[in-house]
Structure 1
Amino acid sequence: MKTRRFHFSQMLVLLFTLVISACGGDALLTFETTGGDQLRPLAIITFEADLEKGTYIARDHTGKRADLQVDGDGRATFLMSRALPRATTRWTVRLDQDATSRVEAATRGDAVLIRTDGRDVVAYRTAKERVPREDIPEVYNRDGYLHPVWSPSGRVITDDYPPDHIHHHGIWAAWTNTIFQGRTPDFWNMGRASGRVEVVALDSMWSGVAHAGLNARHRYVDMIEEEVTALNEAWHLKVYRTPTDLNILDLSLTQIVATGDTLILPEYRYGGVGVRGHRDWVGEEGTEFFTSEGLTRENGHATRAHWCHIGGIVDGERVGIAVLSHPDNHESPQPMRIHPTEPFFNFAPTQAGQFEITSEEQTTWKYRFVTYDGAYDQDLLDALWEDYANPLTVHIVR
């Protein structure tokens, strides 16, 4: 009888432990998420957490696991699949003792390569390499941009130094029509030798279970007379560990004038963050454009949209990239430059009229890029934009 009582007592203790664990009794943190008005196939959730920097495991009430990453500033991030409309999910968080980075950022020559689960996603060019062809003047040499950008299957989506526009570089940023100290430097069309954008420093990079990324600084140099830095720009790039059929990266640019002056940006048809698609997509029929408003290359230029798909054929298969513009951006939803014959796209706020960047207040631009294989899915892109624009909120239980 004593043996039976002993075993019965053990079972009671074990049952009590399991119940407490299921209720989050030994959890470091318990929180709840609530879905939006529509189904979200994928939700990227970030919130303030009273946790040390590190890697954790979050589990919902069914035991489903999500890898949770906490940065040094206490920002926690995890990805949730199939966030049901208006459904509340309770999560418990525990330390992951055996974590290994699933998204990695590492230096590869004159670039930072970011990979997720062994798949190349994007490379950031940290330094000027030798120009790739002898016919390219040295004035076009540049750094501080993203190329290659890969689809999930490993096909390259972007182009660099294309023959028809040597100053196009994967995903890059520059202003075209500007006024600074009475001069008119053009930081976009580098062949004019009136302005350039260059890397100042790669400040940091990181790897993790939910995301990897980097922080870098650029400067816009007015070259018309004596060289002077007109604009300072900070890049914050983050790449998420997503399902194998999608790659998602966020790019945030913060700009401020380097002197006590103002950088005036008169109305113009392009400028800001540009995307140059694969070289095989050149020509009227080579590139497919489709906007969140249902418009195409034929009627989408100079209209406004939340997102735009750019796609074509690479190595015999269809691939695409969608550019999602955050609603906090100036002139949101922003007007677009959709080129009639080239695989070039640009959310162009200067189409809406002149505006200014000053030395007293930072100006921030935020974009999310989604790459995929196959045809674009309008419903999926709508849902991904909604999640970018209105991320799910988190309620801390304890």
Structure 2
Amino acid sequence: MYAIRHSRRLLPLGLIVMFAPIAAAQRVATFTVPLDGPVPAEGVPVSAELPDLPAEAAFDLYEVRGAEREWVPSQREGGGRKRLHWLVAPRAGGAAGRVYELARLPAATDVPQAEMNLVDRDGVLTLRAGERELLGYYHAVQQAPAGESPLYARSGFIHPLRAPHGQVLTQIQPMGDFHHYGLWAPWPRVGFEGREIDFWNLGDGKGTVRFTRFAATSEGSVFAEYQAEQEHVVLLPEGGEKVALREVQTVRGYRMLAADAYLLDLTIVLRCAGAVPVTLLDYRYGGPGWRPTAEWNRTNSEMLTSEGLARPAIDGSRARWCLVQGEVDGGGDYAGAAWLTHPGNFNSPEPMRVWPEDKNGRGDVFVNFAPAKGRDWPLEPGKDYVLRYRFLVFNGHRAAEAAEGAWRSFTKPPVVQVE
């Protein structure tokens, strides 16, 4: 379908290399990053517009630490490669700001960099940090479980989502919920051409969601990213199909600065497929949902929202973030994710749907930010509608302060000053 580079020279994850200033390098810019507090272990993503440099120019980024220059992995983005990305790493002392220098190098200079990469194999695009798998995106159709309706088959979902230590934090097609697919985002009540369509409950045969193509992919030393186009397809009762809604999911995974945490960005763009408007109708669930590992239940997992609510009180409440974590490996480790929402999302702070603690007798876990809960969301033709989320995925136990700090970095990232 397309080519993805699978190998470059790699440094061990989290390694930062010390260099003296390179005599042949030419300093072309200084970046100052103001900080309002300590930097967490996973780092803080930042970016800046580059000065007028040719797209093919070779360069390096260094953090200025007194008389020393500390090399920092960086990555250019954009059609003209005009934006530079890097992660601000934690450092003892809690400095109020950081200073970086961008140095242009001779064209022949070859500096190895740690790499985030994508591997496409057997219908699954895997996002990796070095050789470590972070998540898989199914662009091939996952067939229905044996003996079940073929309507349960679909593509276009994330599974597995892995903790830094490798444990799988998602599940697909669990017994009794064959329409659940790891980390996915269908809508159960959609108004289209005078009908109400259900793209969530696949077994009803009213609608489904399909992957169509990758619009773009990107690899580098700071992040790997893919843009997957999906269609929300109406299954017409008289036979045939019609596309009601087009979706682009952009997933970006950042390099790991620590062995027990990483950041993952999910951006969803919705657009009417044609000249007919679409309405995401008020319902108690719908949109981005997470069906976590089957290991978790009411006795070995926990939830906490930005409003201080635990699992029994979360359903129907609103939140800026939700911290979900529990035992993995039979209690030998702990893992989870802080799911962060952007204040620019529709109906923010978004309503939540979580299952009660007696679900399926065990307290099975399901988490959903539902923008159209309590309020219809009308989509007009020709317009894009954007939802933005970030996940702090971790091993170990995290407190509210970690989720709140990650949310602040996500929603109000430091504004880089360029000189």
Per the TM superposition, whether the score is higher than 0.5 is yes
In 2, Cα distance between equivalents of 1:90 and 1:351: 44
Task: Report whether the alignment pairs 1:268 with 2:283.
Answer: yes
In 1, Cα distance between equivalents of 2:325 and 2:368: 14
1:128 match: 141
3-state DSSP class of the match of 1:130? coil
Pick which of 243-252 and 59-68 moved more.
59-68
1:65 match: 71
1:5 match: none
Match of 2:129 among 105, 116, 121: 116
3-state DSSP class of the match of 2:197? coil
- Computed over aligned residues only, the root mean square deviation of the Cα atoms, in angstroms, reads 2.2
In 2, Cα distance between equivalents of 1:285 and 1:302: 22
In 1, Cα distance between equivalents of 2:295 and 2:56: 44
Task: Report whether the alignment pairs 1:301 with 2:301.
Answer: no
Deviation at 1:60, TM superposition (A): 2.1
Cα deviation, 1:181-223, whole Å, max 9, x if unaligned, reads 0011100110111010001112232211000011110000111
Deviation at 1:100, TM superposition (A): 4.2
1:82 match: 90
Task: Report whether the alignment pairs 1:229 with 2:237.
Answer: no
Pick which of 214-223 and 78-87 moved more.
78-87
Which of the pair has more CA radius of gyration? 1
3-state DSSP class of the match of 1:335? strand
Q: Percent identity?
A: 28
| TM-score (normalizing by structure 1) | 0.89
Cα deviation, 1:336-363, whole Å, max 9, x if unaligned, reads 1111133111111112311211213110
In 1, Cα distance between equivalents of 2:24 and 2:196: 61
Task: Report whether the alignment pairs 1:372 with 2:394.
Answer: yes
Structure 1: which 5+ residue stretches go unaligned?
A: 1-19
Cα deviation, 1:69-91, whole Å, max 9, x if unaligned, reads 00233221100023887823221
1:155 match: 167
Change (3 A) 1:179 1:105: same
In 2, Cα distance between equivalents of 1:298 and 1:391: 32
- Residue 209 of structure 2 contacts residue 230 of structure 2 at CA under 8 Å; is this kept in 1? yes
Matches within 5 A, 1:1-398: 26-36=26-36, 38-41=37-40, 42-50=43-51, 51=53, 52=55, 56-62=59-65, 63-73=69-79, 74-82=82-90, 87-94=96-103, 95=105, 97-100=110-113, 102-131=115-144, 133-225=145-237, 226-243=240-257, 244-281=259-296, 283-316=297-330, 317-340=333-356, 341=359, 342-397=364-419
| TM-score (normalizing by structure 2) | 0.84
Deviation at 1:260, TM superposition (A): 1.0
Change (3 A) 1:176 1:23: farther
The one-letter code sitting in structure 2 at the alignment partner of 1:285 is: T
In 2, Cα distance between equivalents of 1:147 and 1:168: 11
Cα deviation, 1:17-62, whole Å, max 9, x if unaligned, reads xxx95999821322211113x3332211022223426874322221
What number of residue pairs does the alignment pair up? 375
- Residue 212 of structure 1 contacts residue 240 of structure 1 at CA under 8 Å; is this kept in 2? yes
1:14 match: none
3-state DSSP class of the match of 2:233? strand
Deviation at 1:326, TM superposition (A): 1.0
- Residue 143 of structure 2 contacts residue 152 of structure 2 at CA under 8 Å; is this kept in 1? no
Change (3 A) 1:315 1:54: farther
Deviation at 1:296, TM superposition (A): 1.0
